Amino acid sequence: MDKQTLRGHLEELHAELQQVESLDVNEREMLQNLARDVQEALSREDDSTQHYSSLGDRLREVIAQVEASHPRATMRMQQVIDHLAYLGI
């Protein structure tokens, strides 16, 4: 696996986040912010490990909050976290 695979996981996660319907205002805001963070990661030219590290931390926080209500989205988030770990980030 490489950074291109990571990019693929990020694209899948972003697509999944766009489809999530959340009734809770706080949850919706959290997922929208995460979608924005993922889009920013996809738009970046540099491959700064610091940026990916903070994205991984953010993903872990969101998973803890929405795991029960959005299992598909959290599965995609976990794929990204696993890939970041594989890359040593």
Residue 59 confidence (pLDDT): 94
Residues shown for the chain? 89
Residue 1 confidence (pLDDT): 52
Residues 6+ apart with CB under 8 A from 74: 62, 63, 66, 67
Q: What is the pLDDT along the chain (89 residues), one digit of tens a residue?
A: 577 888 899 999 999 998 888 768 898 899 889 999 998 888 887 767 777 888 999 999 999 999 998 999 999 999 999 999 998 88
DSSP result, 27-75: HHHHHHHHHHHHHHHHH-SS--HHHHHHHHHHHHHHHHHHTTT-HHHHH
